[in-house]
């Protein structure tokens, strides 16, 4: 084979430069979205949003300023628009929406509920899972699950009284063991680790950084996973901790599925796992058992979705409550009245009562300011296109609208970045309006399926943590530690830590 000449190399370079130049010209002057306002650099290249997401706290934090400058509908990528207002958000995410999901390759979650692009596919999978995550199902499991995990969590904190606890890890140990035990009847015993120093949780905590890279560079997860699999196992564990953490969670789901498939008589009829439902489909409804790989992906999804988001909300609540003497004093007063014996554990039905109004308001405000998945959840316009704010958007256009903007809308939430539980102690109509505006669990048929489990976990944890312990975060956690980055889920810059002391009354 003849060697490649320098002239051929130069021609190839020149052709590549010309191609990029012509592509930019097309995007700026001939693209169907050319008339939509926004930064010209964002219209020219995807690297604009990638830079803000990967090199700054996130494009989502820049969007409010961009919307003020350019209007309610702006172009943030060559083929992507961002919608600011709640009406546009509801149009995209409402029940029965014709907007299709755009799934970004995430190796460990491919085939899961969240990867289903069409509405019929999503509905079919949710039919399996919705009964499992209903409020009634969660309440049935509470005496066996939440009470046991909450007791473990509080016991470990009790042993740590007088020391500084890393609550970033503590809350993740709690939520991981809860979601895994609920879904699989098997957990990783993270709550048994002294000081909540679970190696798996520490590794898993590094995963969100990778997730954000995958949103900008398709097939990133597949490439990295294949590359890492070629390395010695010890190097994988030491140098690629996030991937190892994902694999650990994935293996728990896989082994549980294989066990149930091979031992159907071991099914717990009182509290079935999510896989029991999938392995015993309702044929009268046309249900069929999904492939094993998809069940593994769904199991991994539940761990990923149920661990970080709920733990982040608990961290947000802990920081703001402990930094405000007035809020912490009012909360403790309510809890002492409602739970006279600090060592008792009440159930979630009790926490739904009028005696815990302020506790629930704190949880609501924590959800509002922890944002869940704050940024770009991408959908594609239907074949007939769509209209936003009077502007027609052609078919096949990516459109997004983030939770962060909805949860901090100043028209609905005055002083939107202030943690103020009292904003939820309002008349019924105002509460309804604010609840409609807050999108922490998203909306519609693709909304968070674990919302009921999250609320039960949050209410129980907040009530018992603050009733039993005094936590001092001042001097151990700063505002800078709590500054979050958009890593697909909100990820704080540092760990929230606090000095824990057992209450005497």
Is 169 a residue whose pLDDT tops 90? yes
Is 99 a residue whose pLDDT tops 70? yes
Q: Average pLDDT, stretch 475-494? A: 92
Q: Average pLDDT, stretch 147-174? A: 95
**What was the pLDDT predicted at 106?**
63
**What was the pLDDT predicted at 470?**
98
Among 156-160, 220-224, 474-478, where is mean pLDDT lowest? 220-224
Mark the binding-site residues, compressed into ranges: 448
Mark the binding-site residues for heme, compressed into ranges: 448
**What was the pLDDT predicted at 120?**
72
Is 168 a residue whose pLDDT tops 90? yes
Most confident of the ranges 115-119, 125-129, 145-149: 145-149
Do residues 265 and 120 make contact, with C-beta atoms less than 8 angstroms apart? no
pLDDT digits (tens, 9 = 90+) for 232-259: 878 877 777 777 777 777 888 888 888 8
Q: Which residue has the higher pLDDT, 211 or 254?
A: 254
Do residues 401 and 89 make contact, with C-beta atoms less than 8 angstroms apart? yes
β-strands 398-400, 379-380: how paired? antiparallel
**What was the pLDDT predicted at 95?**
82
Q: Which residue has the higher pLDDT, 476 or 2?
A: 476
Is 268 a residue whose pLDDT tops 60? no
Q: Average pLDDT, stretch 149-166? A: 95
Q: Which residue has the higher pLDDT, 163 or 224?
A: 163
Q: Which residue has the higher pLDDT, 207 or 370?
A: 370
Cα 198–chain centre separation: 21
pLDDT digits (tens, 9 = 90+) for 18-30: 999 999 999 999 9
Class of domain 85-502: mainly alpha
Sequential DSSP letters for 33-54: TTTS-S-HHHHH-THHHHHHHH
- Write the DSSP symbol of residue 105: P
Q: Report the predicted TM-score, pTM, of the whole model to 2 decimal places.
A: 0.92
Is 415 a residue whose pLDDT tops 90? yes
Mapped onto helix, strand or coil, the DSSP state of residue 220 is helix
Most confident of the ranges 112-121, 282-291, 353-362, 444-453: 353-362
Report the run of H or E that residue 284 belongs to, with start and end. Answer: none
Is 1 a residue whose pLDDT tops 60? no
Q: Which of 257, 128, 125 is nearest to 185 (CA)?
A: 257
Q: Which of 99, 137, 131, 104 is nearest to 118 (CA)?
A: 99
Percentage of residues of the chain with pLDDT beyond 70: 94
Is 446 a residue whose pLDDT tops 80? no
Sequential DSSP letters for 140-199: HHTTTTHHHHHHHHHHHHHHTTTSEEEHHHHHHHHHHHHHHHHHHS----GGGSGGG--H
Q: Which residue has the higher pLDDT, 419 or 282?
A: 419
**What was the pLDDT predicted at 494?**
94
Cα 228–chain centre separation: 25
Domain boundaries, the chain: 1-79, 85-502
């Amino acid at each position: 084979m003849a060697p490649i000449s320098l002239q051929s190399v130069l021609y190839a370079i020149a052709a590549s430069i010309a191609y990029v130049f012509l592509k930019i010209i097309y995007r700026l002057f001939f693209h169907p979205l050319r008339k939509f306002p926004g930064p010209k650099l964002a219209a020219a290249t995807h690297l604009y949003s990638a830079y803000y997401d990967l090199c700054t706290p996130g494009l989502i934090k820049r969007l409010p300023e961009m919307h003020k400058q350019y209007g309610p509908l702006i172009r943030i990528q060559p083929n992507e628009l961002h919608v600011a207002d709640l009406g546009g958000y509801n149009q995209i995410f409402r029940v029965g929406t014709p907007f299709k999901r755009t799934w970004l390759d995430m190796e460990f979650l491919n085939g899961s509920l969240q990867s289903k692009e069409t509405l019929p596919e999503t509905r079919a999978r949710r039919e399996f899972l919705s009964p499992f995550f209903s409020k009634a199902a969660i309440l049935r499991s509470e005496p066996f699950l939440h009470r046991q995990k909450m007791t473990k969590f509080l016991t470990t904190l009790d042993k740590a009284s007088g020391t500084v606890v890393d609550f970033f890890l503590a809350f993740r140990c709690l939520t991981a063991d809860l979601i895994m035990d609920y879904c699989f009847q098997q957990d990783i015993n993270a709550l048994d680790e002294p000081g909540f120093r679970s190696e798996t949780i520490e590794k898993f905590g590094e995963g969100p950084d990778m997730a954000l890279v995958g949103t900008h560079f398709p097939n990133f997860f597949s490439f990295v996973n294949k590359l890492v699999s070629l390395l010695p196992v010890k190097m994988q564990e030491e140098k690629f901790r996030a991937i190892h953490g994902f694999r650990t969670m994935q293996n728990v789901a896989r082994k549980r599925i294989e066990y149930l498939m091979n031992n159907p008589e071991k099914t717990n009829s009182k509290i079935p796992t999510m896989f029991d439902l999938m392995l015993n489909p309702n044929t009268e409804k046309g249900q069929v058992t999904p492939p094993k790989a998809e069940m593994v992906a769904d199991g991994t999804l539940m761990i990923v979705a149920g661990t970080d988001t709920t733990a982040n909300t608990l961290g947000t609540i802990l920081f703001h409550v402990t930094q405000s003497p007035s809020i912490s004093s009012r909360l403790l007063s309510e809890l002492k009245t409602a739970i006279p014996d600090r060592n008792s554990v009440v159930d979630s039905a009790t926490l739904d009562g009028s005696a815990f109004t302020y506790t629930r308001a704190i949880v609501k405000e924590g959800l509002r300011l922890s944002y869940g998945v704050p940024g770009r959840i991408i959908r594609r316009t239907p074949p007939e296109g769509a209209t936003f704010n009077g502007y027609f958007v052609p078919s096949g256009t990516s459109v997004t609208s983030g939770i962060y903007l909805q949860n901090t809308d100043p028209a609905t939430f005055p002083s939107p970045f202030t943690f103020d539980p009292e904003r939820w102690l309002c008349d019924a109509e105002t509460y309804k309006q604010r609840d409609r505006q807050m999108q922490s669990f998203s909306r519609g048929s693709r909304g968070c399926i674990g919302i009921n489990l999250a609320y039960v976990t949050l209410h129980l944890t907040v009530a018992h943590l603050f009733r039993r312990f005094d936590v001092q975060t001042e001097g151990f956690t700063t505002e800078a530690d709590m500054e979050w980055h958009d890593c697909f889920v909100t990820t704080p810059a540092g760990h929230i830590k606090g000095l824990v002391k057992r209450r005497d009354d």
